[in-house]
Structure 1
Amino acid sequence: MGALGASNEPYLNKPARFPALSKENAVRAGQDKQKLDLLVDVLGGISKEQAIVMLKKSLQILIEVGEKNNDKYKIDSTNDSSLLKTKNMLSDLLSEKHGGETLAILIGTLLKIYSNSHELGYKVEVHKVNQSGASSKEIGDIDVYDGSVLVFSVEAKDKPFTLQDVEHSLKKSLSAGLDKSIFVYGNSINISEDLHSSVKGLAEKHDNLLAFSSFNEFSTFMLLLSNKSSVLDLPRILLETAKESLASDSTVTYLKQFIKDTLETDN
């Protein structure tokens, strides 16, 4: 998907709205317009036979890129650590935020492990960071479905935030027909007693069951509610979630190396 573009709704972008490649297609002036004109000039001068050869080569390149990307997300490690060591490892992972990607991926991973533990069959969607709401289908940073039914959504914040940010998240859940919501913030974020009190009042105001917690608190409860056999699969699920969320290469490399190094040390 990343090789062809990472749009949440690819068929709504402008290039896909035009039935044919033409210099009359709408495009930004400047370099974009120059590139369009060049593309039309180059492709307009080739024969049908040349086009077929070029198409085959393009598909071959895409297949090679796809295979290379798949290898990037493979990991042989399993998590034999105790639940306490696992919780500490996940908390340590947050030492590098990667623009908030680390937190969102860790939350999604724990939700998948919980679902697997109880055979719930939940579909956990971790959206690309800072693009929550980019699609009409997205509610929070992480949306959890039971079939086609939205069960709950999670807002993940690993940077300073305000009461208004919490209320905005809560209202998105309400607009989706949910009377419950989850807000998880990074361990390095300091929350004042006033904010805690205000958040409680906010939930009561909107009659919404709101779980407002640090990642440490969230991960503790999720691991307590999960079975050991599901936690063993954490490394694979972590990288699977990174792939599905279109995490950056630097984030994937960091997660993979950190997990491998930590588990090798523990063993």
Structure 2
Amino acid sequence: MSNLAQVDVNNEEASRLLDREWKRVNSEDKSEYVEDYRIRTKIAEVLNDSQKTYRYILVNATLAKATNSDVHYRALQAGSSLEGAHDARSLAHSVLVPWEKAHGERLGGSPEPFVNNPARHEEVSTENRARATKKQDRLHNLLQRMEDKVEEGVEDPVNILRQTLYAITQLESQLVDFESVSNAPYTEVEDAVTTYLKDSGKGERLPAVVAGIMQTYYEHAADVEWQVDAEHANVSDEFSKAAGDIELFRDDELQKAMEVKDKPATRSSVQHAIEKARQHKLGEYIYVVGSGYRAGEKADIEKEIEEAPLELILMDSEELIALLKVVDDSDRGFFLDKVGAFLNDMRANQNNKDRWTELAESVEER
């Protein structure tokens, strides 16, 4: 690639611009800074989506272009073949990350967002390997549309930055003031979960709760973005390509999987879990024992685990619930919401959704 395609973005200039435009957007009674309706709505969609890395890519791109109009919105690395390539990671980690930390961590509070897979390509492209292809396509199309409109002289890069900053003002700050009384105390949440799991809900309740716990735990403990997927409890393995009832992805790569059983564990179900782990080349697999062991089979299960060519970890629901002890109060509130979201994703029975809503609201309204 010719070096003529590469441009520089002055971090100090970008920082001053970001502070100035943030103050402006917050002081004005205005919500529309660009004429193009599609650009306005797609900016809001990307920033409100669960895919954190795409939020950072979008905001960083609008800041870079507003600082140096020679930048191409879709460029992520100086090695990109796009005319207007630049080192987006340097700008993000030097300017955007510390700015976001000082302004409510509304994008997600990631300390190094550009180490995640979606940001490690040379440019945003529909050809990039991605698990969430629709979300990637949306970001690509938005960035390219902004590039085209600026090139045509229809839109101004600074106004696009202002529109993006306005959309950020509409996001909830993640930094909350200290309150002496917890809004989601562990004992209250534990009681709600225990009550909820007294009924299996035809196998739907425990997987949703476990998925919510895992998403909450990794949101709290991990520096990189994890994605938790929950399979509907009653999907036959014959029709499912999933590695387990719950799958955990990091940078779009499958890292862990879990089998969740609300019935007594059997030797055959453990063997099946080991086989699924082997098929998906997982060195570690978690088997959630929701209702103990079938009579007379515990010793056989322990032998299967001992002889398995991988590490099979047994956990019961009490151990998983206890993980909510090590997260913050706000994270437990996040957990209450995520269980409801997983029930929706799993297309769970309405009775299971309604009962969870009832219990979650009882915690939040105490």
Structure-2-length-normalised TM-score: 0.46
Instruction: Give yes or no for contact 2:184–2:332 (8 Å, CA) kept in 1.
Output: no
Give the whole-Å Cα distance in 2 for the aligned partners of 1:214 and 1:152. 17
Structure 1 residues 217-232: aligned runs within 5 Å: 217-220=319-322, 222-232=323-333
Task: Select 1:202's aligned residue among 295, 304, 325.
Answer: 304
SS in structure 1 opposite 2:274? helix
Measured on the aligned residues, the alpha-carbon RMSD in Å equals 2.2
- Aligned-residue offset at 1:235: 2.2
Distance in 2 (CA, whole Å) between partners of 1:167 and 1:126 is 21
| Separation of aligned partners in 1, 2:292 and 2:237 | 26
2:268 equivalent among 148, 164, 188: 164
Q: 1:183 aligns with which of 287, 290, 295?
A: 287
Q: In the TM superposition, what are the counterparts of 1:1-267 in structure 2 within 5 Å?
A: 80-119=183-222, 120-131=224-235, 133-135=237-239, 137-186=241-290, 189-191=291-293, 195-220=297-322, 222-264=323-365, 267=366
Q: Tell me the CA shift for residue 108 of structure 1.
A: 0.4
Post-superposition offset of 1:193: 8.7
What letter is aligned with 1:198?
Answer: D
Gaps of 5+ in 1: 1-78
TM-superposed deviation, 1:261 = 3.0
How many Å separate the matches in 2 of 1:249 and 1:134? 26
* Aligned-partner SS, 1:99: coil
Cα deviations across residues 1-49 of structure 1 (Å, max 9, x unaligned)? xxxxxxxxxxxxxxxxxxxxxxxxxxxxxxxxxxxxxxxxxxxxxxxxx
| Alpha-carbon distance in 2 for matches of 1:167, 1:235 | 33
Counterpart AA for 1:81: A
CA 190–100 in structure 1, closer or farther in 2 if over 3 Å, else same: same
Stretches (4+) displaced over 4 A: none
Larger CA Rg, structure 1 vs 2: 2
Inter-CA distance 125–161: structure 2 relative to 1 (3 Å threshold): same
Gapped runs of 5+ residues in structure 2?
1-181
Question: Does structure 1 retain, via aligned residues, the 8 Å contact 2:266–2:293?
Answer: no
1:165 Cα shift? 0.6
What is the CA distance between 1:180 and its match in structure 2? 0.9
| Partner Cα separation in structure 2 for residue 155 and residue 210 of structure 1 | 10
CA distance, structure 1, for counterparts of residue 281 and residue 273 of structure 2 = 13
Aligned-pair CA distance for 1:104:
0.5
Distance in 1, matches of 2:200 and 2:266, equals: 19
Q: Which amino acid aligns with 1:216?
A: E
Q: Tell me the TM-score normalised to structure 1 length.
A: 0.62
Specify whether residues 234 and 180 from structure 1 end up closer, same or farther in structure 2 by C-alpha distance, changes over 3 A only.
same
Is the Cα contact below 8 Å between 1:125 and 1:245 reproduced in 2?
Answer: no
Q: Summarize deviations over 1:176-234 as a string: whole Å, max 9, x none.
A: 00111111122xx24379544333321221132222122112221x2244333311222
Cα separation, 2, equivalents of 1:171 and 1:256? 36
Deviation at 1:262, TM superposition (A): 4.4
